[in-house]
Chain A
Amino acid sequence: MTAAAAYAISERPAPRPWWRRLIGFNLLTAVILGVGGYYLGWWIGHEIVGKSFAFQEKTNENDVALLLAYFFGVAGFLIGLGFANYPVSRLLGRPPSLREKEEHGIARYFGLCTDHKVVGMQYMVGIGLFFFIGGLNAMLIRTELLHPTPTFVGPDTYISLVGMHGTMMMGMMTSGILGPFANYFVPIMIGARRMAFPRIESLTFWLLMAAGFILTSTIFFGGFPTGWTGYEPLNDQAVMGMDSYICFFALVGVSMALLGLNMMVTITTMRAPGMTWSRLPIFVWAVMATAVLMVLAAPMLVATLLMAAFDRTISTSFFIPGGGGSNYLFENLFWFFGHPEVYILALPGFGIVLELLPVFTRKPLWGYRLAVAGLLGVTLLSFFVWQHHLFVSGINADLRPFYMLSTEIISLPTGFIFLVFMATMWRGRATFTVPMLFCMAWAFNFLIGGLSGVFLSDTPSDTTTHGSFFVMAHFHYTIMGGLIFTFFAAIYYWIPKMTGLRFNELLAKTHFWLMFVAFNSTFLPLFIAGFEGQPRRVSEYAPHLQFINVWVSISAFVLGLSMLIFLANVVYSLIFVRVRAEANPWRSKSIEWQLPTPVPVHNFDEIPVFDADPYDYGLPLPVAGTRPAPAGAG
């Protein structure tokens, strides 16, 4: 019998009655244990630890209690989901339970599931939810900016809103493409049945969900005033809501490091026969490059935040000059993580665009090795540029020419990506489907983002633009125009594979055009606002800038509307109408489209053997890249 049939018969457990399913390691237990853990931590913080710190009485704040509450809450949450089961049962000498591998039912999406495809879907919905919340914050920010003086919310609430928006987006969207799409498709693309560490894969998802919930809870503790960068000493001065930020980013950092580790090990060790490094799909290369950055940069953030937490609670002075520390230490540590972080956001976008272009232009990827060099070049160089965030901070003046040079050099590998993009389109036969439209928009947006980055990398020019809306426009063009547009490209491209359903074409095109026009209308004038002297993160600005701000706010509302149209498309096409998609609507030669939909839990009946380039368009072969293994293997 085939491996699939043997697997199916031996492993599938008998279905249990619904009330029985409620007891056990699932989301309900997780929430209960999480809440219990929260109160346990809170109690420990107040009764046992808190009494030692005299200042806490005067401030009515107990940061230790909140941090412990979050810690125990997350621990309880993860234990409730079942993450401790395998380690504990092995420690006790018992064989592991395989209930995690249930093949059917919607319940597996709400718990610990080791099927990488389920984790991909979980990521998509989870990240979508927090992206939506972050976007809501952005709408509130733009509402406040309609007037030059604080009107809608107080200035303390406003900077909390700004911080929440930035932090939520930066924390969540780093896994925006790796989470849903790399988890789902990388094992398939390299010919593996699973990721190297399936349980860790699920852990990264649930850590992110816990983190998002913790960040949203900051509003109950007064928000935080530092923006997403969390600069000291303001960080230490902040109310309890700052601890939510610290906890959020610590969890995100752990999640990122584990996700990157998983990807690196999977891609390195689990490639099928014939899948050499030079045959790897460019998307997998981009995932690999991103994973390297995640593993190296994220732990830096966790360590930095631990120090900040110590400063806030046990009165250490890592970052407080009055006590012997230095605020420069925080800035440098943070940006040593922060700069690779933004390349973590940009690289998957490159990967998606270069992966989709050959499909829609019916040409091979031009300059495959150049593209890989570009991705790896960005990865390496991103560790050498971080002080460009500190040009006017009073760092050693000798350092600035070096960082100016290194930041400008990093535009070289990015330029390679653009060359590959343009040359792949050269003399191609492009169909402008919605995913292709998003890829074209990426090119336009990232170009503007990248060119504005050249302005910012030039220290004399940066003197005026640092800390102004020019920087805001720059990173929104590169991150939102780069990552988010490719996020949607990937969704529209791969949803027919992940769900077997088709999106409504009219709604999709409306979403794209509205989003593209509104996005540019929102962020292009912000370059001017920055040039005119409007600083970031303020709700009060010079009155003559009100026209620009009103224009931008209205465009931002339209941008939000385009997101609602996307949501409407999701609800309409995937929940109500549910039109079946063809098996391979884009006529892609990539291996995931050659599998049945839904992809079976074990992915392949037999492990494929790869023997051709991944982008064999322009040739009459029906399927490029695979042939079945000889009888007896697999």
Chain B
Amino acid sequence: MAVSAALAVLGTLIGLYISLWAQNFPRTVAALAAPATGGANLTLETVATVGKKLSPQHPNWVSYLVKSNGRWIRSTVFRVPAYSVVHVTLYQFDTPTGLRNPFLSEVQGTVGGTATLDGKTFRSVEPEEASHTFAVPELGLFVPLAGVPEEAKNPCEEAPCELSSAHRTITFSFRTGARGRYRWQCFVPCAAGWLLGNGGPMQTLGYMDGFIDVV
């Protein structure tokens, strides 16, 4: 009797252990469809401090947020349709850190080979001005995101950031091909306080890295 009870407790503990490990991916967000031109719309923002509400364990980490149903949520797995064009609008609220490899300061892989920054088309940024990048290496997509100047008034203190705070707006489009799960990541060493800037949020799904599920 005691042994059976012990075994049951052991089984439960094991089940709990496995489920602790099998942390599922951050919630998948489907990019909203754009009926006029076909394809999909993806609205993102990058924030310097994600805050306690969106990340109780890591309130001081940088993070990407995505707009889903009008609200900003912290998820980095986006579902987009295959063989279509995805239009990305990105609001960048963070200050520059600078690219470690200045090669990535040039826009690659977008439709037309360029992106727009605050309405003006650009092909590359100054490497020291980059705050983050949005890159999907397998699709050849690299877009450097210029940073908000250090002296800007009303910087955004904590996520979710509203457009009233100082920000840069970057838009670009890219084509998706065959179905698959492609990773995307930031290439700026923007994780403050970590060795070489690549720890913490840069190495945890749900902050500066994620997946694009082309379905």
- CB within 8 Å of B: which residues of A? 55-61, 133, 136-137, 140, 149-157, 161, 219, 222, 225, 233, 236-239, 320, 322, 571, 575-576
Contact = CB atoms under 8 A, between A and B. Distances in A.
Given A149-B181, A154-B25, A322-B196, A237 B203 contact: yes
A580 B191 CA distance: 63
B68 interface: no
Contacts of A155: 183, 205
Given A59-B194, A59-B199, A576 B3 contact: yes
Contacts of A239: 199-200, 203-204
B17 A60 contact: no
Given A136-B17, A571-B3, A60 B61 contact: yes
Given A237-B199, A238-B203, 20 more contacts: A55-B192, A57-B193, A58-B192, A59-B192, A59-B199, A133-B17, A136-B18, A137-B21, A140-B18, A140-B21, A149-B180, A153-B22, A154-B25, A154-B205, A219-B20, A222-B204, A233-B196, A237-B196, A237-B203, A320-B195
B59 interface: yes
Given A61-B200, A571-B3, A236 B195 contact: yes
B119 to A, nearest CB: 33
Contacts, number: 81
B14 interface: yes
Contact of A237 (B25, B60, B198, B211): B198
A100 B2 CA distance: 27
B37 interface: no
A140 B18 CA distance: 8
Contacts of B196: 233, 237, 322
B69 interface: no
Contacts of B24: 153
Contacts of B204: 156, 222, 239
6 contacts: A156-B205, A157-B21, A157-B22, A157-B205, A237-B194, A571-B7
B57 interface: yes
B57 A60 contact: yes
B27 interface: no
A588 to B, nearest CB: 31
A350 B205 CA distance: 44
A235 to B, nearest CB: 9
A59 B7 CA distance: 41
Contacts of B61: 60
A136 B3 CA distance: 22
Nearest to B23: A157
Interface of B: 3, 7, 14, 17-18, 20-25, 57-61, 180-181, 183, 191-196, 198-200, 203-205, 211
Nearest to A55: B193
Nearest to A223: B21
B20 to A, nearest CB: 6
B200 A59 contact: yes
B25 to A, nearest CB: 6
B77 to A, nearest CB: 9
Contact of B23 (A133, A149, A154, A322): A154
A240 to B, nearest CB: 10
A60 B20 contact: no
Given A153-B21, A156-B203, A59 B193 contact: yes
Contacts of A56: 193
A146 to B, nearest CB: 13
Nearest to B76: A154
A225 B61 CA distance: 18
B203 A225 contact: yes
A575 B4 CA distance: 11
A60 B58 CA distance: 6
Contacts of A237: 194-196, 198-199, 203
B18 A59 contact: no
A60 B60 contact: yes
A60 B50 CA distance: 12
A150 B3 CA distance: 39
B56 to A, nearest CB: 10
Nearest to B59: A60
B206 to A, nearest CB: 8
Nearest to A235: B195
A487 to B, nearest CB: 21
3 closest Cβ pairs, A-B complex: A58-B193, A55-B193, A59-B193
In this complex, the member of A154, A157, A161, A571 whose beta carbon has the largest number of chain B beta carbons within 10 angstroms is A154
Contacts of B18: 136, 140
A575 B205 CA distance: 45
A225 B204 CA distance: 10
A42 to B, nearest CB: 15
B22 A136 contact: no
Contacts of A152: 22
A387 to B, nearest CB: 26
B60 A161 contact: no
A576 B61 CA distance: 54
A571 B11 CA distance: 14
Contacts of A322: 196
